[in-house]
Amino acid sequence: MQLKTILNRVQKFKSFVYKSMRWVGTDAAPELEVEVAERANGQPICSACGRRSPGYDRLPKRRFEFVPLWGIKVFLVYAPRRVACSRCGIRVEQMPWALGKRPLTKAYGWFLASWARRLSWKETASVFRTSWESVFRSVEMAVEWGRAHQDLGGVQAIGIDEIAWKKGHRYLTLVYQIDTHCRRLLWIGKERKARTLLGFFRWFGTERSQGLRYICSDMWKPYLKVVAKKAGQAVHVLDRFHIMAHFSKALDEVRAGEVKELKAKGYEPVLTKSRWLLLKRPENLSDRQDSKLAELLQYNLRSVRAYLLKEEFQFFWHYRSPYWAGQFLDKWCTKTMRSKIDPMKKVARMLRGHRELLLNWFRAKGQLSSGVVEGFNAKAKLTSRKSYGFRTFRGAEIALYHALGALPEPEVTHRFC
């Protein structure tokens, strides 16, 4: 059997054929070149408008990198014709294997993009002896194709989240679909302003926005305003993950203040190295941490009292009826307002101010998967770390859509990986 037979099996073109093959490269790094030619009597197709047009002239030979075979780089070699298109003028012909002006074939681009989902981009480049740039461009191509072909019908529940980006309080806003039957990253925007979220709704379209039934987000004011304006019919749910993050922040603040104070007064530094004891859920502590926490709880410290208030609040999420959950919330807030712990009082005020939206959590129970936003948040952070923190917005966008977008891929006769 010849290599030509294999090529025709994995990738056959209607208007082009494989011709001769030859070895090039060096002994240490051998390469295979496969000559490609147009079928006899075939008219070239204009790459701009897709119409058959009379040929004009021929450009020099170009190499298009194909999927490697047994560790040997493979190139298709073809001298593209130019057409004299009656509409577009003189244009290069359409080549079904080519990715625009890039030196990669479509097949190789999809191959690299697919590996770049399993490995980091850098690893992918090194395994296949190609450049980081080639991997990035391949992923970009896959994302652009997928975004242009994805089906946005039937989205009923979305979650809005943000992740820190670069240093110095810069954020990306991420919008996820969190329906029980389909979860994916839908959209990414720079920063986390009202304008950012308006950008999402503009992209998503009025009709689809009005079909939304649930929206899950943080208490961030610009979000609340925009959601009310653009999808007022949806039940707006403040999600557990974001609320509890506010508690952690408050607890950190209380603890840091108290450590300073104790040190200044010359007391035993019981609070040092206690940060995780107080932030972690008790069921996630190790035995050693458990006994350390028990010891710490004997002190009547502000940090300890704040910790107990936070743990008490966890009961809130276990209610079934919004009515009783509301009763619990009111009592907890009253108690906390009397605690004289400012950061906790701030949390209580914030919760009181958003009482109705908080209780929507119980109205929406069972309609959306609650842990989804938290899960996506962790995956988004991991993706960022794998790409060594996103240096450019374009890089962040491409990496996140690729990892979390559940984007479709074209149907092909043969999958190379």
The binding site for Zn ion (CB under 5 A) comprises 46, 48-49, 85, 87-88
Q: 6 vs 2, 9, 12, 34, 109, CA distance in Å?
A: 7, 5, 10, 12, 19
CB of 52 to Zn ion, least distance (A): 10
Q: Which is nearer to Zn ion, 49 or 406 (CB)?
A: 49
Q: Which is nearer to Zn ion, 74 or 85 (CB)?
A: 85
Burial class (CB in 10 A: 0-12, 13-18, 19+), 100: exposed
Query: How far is Cα 138 from Cα 152, in angstroms, rounded to an integer?
Result: 24
Query: How far is Cα 118 from Cα 106, in angstroms, rounded to an integer?
Result: 19
Q: Which is nearer to Zn ion, 52 or 379 (CB)?
A: 52
The size of the chain, in residues, is 417
| SS3 label, residue 119 | coil
Question: Which residue type occupies 304?
Answer: V
Question: Which residue type occupies 156?
Answer: Q
Burial class (CB in 10 A: 0-12, 13-18, 19+), 371: exposed
Query: How far is Cα 311 from Cα 258, in angstroms, rounded to an integer?
Result: 19
Q: Which is nearer to Zn ion, 21 or 49 (CB)?
A: 49
Across the beta sheet with 55-58, the strand order is: 55-58, 81-85, 89-92
Question: Which residue type occupies 381?
Answer: K
CB of 45 to Zn ion, least distance (A): 9
CB of 84 to Zn ion, least distance (A): 9
Question: Which residue type occupies 143?
Answer: V
CB of 55 to Zn ion, least distance (A): 13
Give me the phi and psi of 265, to 5 degrees please.
Answer: -90, 0
CB of 61 to Zn ion, least distance (A): 23
CB of 145 to Zn ion, least distance (A): 22
Q: Which is nearer to Zn ion, 48 or 194 (CB)?
A: 48
Q: Which is nearer to Zn ion, 82 or 240 (CB)?
A: 82
Q: Which is nearer to Zn ion, 44 or 199 (CB)?
A: 44
240-264 and 372-386 are packed helices; what angle lies between their axes, rounded to 10 degrees? 70
CB of 15 to Zn ion, least distance (A): 16
CB of 149 to Zn ion, least distance (A): 23
Task: Using the structure block, give the residue that is written with the tokens 């002006």.
Answer: 101
Query: How far is Cα 34 from Cα 9, in angstroms, rounded to an integer?
Result: 15
132-149 and 393-404 are packed helices; what angle lies between their axes, rounded to 10 degrees? 60
Query: How far is Cα 114 from Cα 109, in angstroms, rounded to an integer?
Result: 9
Q: What is the DSSP string of 69-96?
A: ETTEEEEEEE--EEEEETTTEEEEBP-T
CB of 37 to Zn ion, least distance (A): 22
Q: Which is nearer to Zn ion, 87 or 129 (CB)?
A: 87
Q: Which is nearer to Zn ion, 87 or 349 (CB)?
A: 87
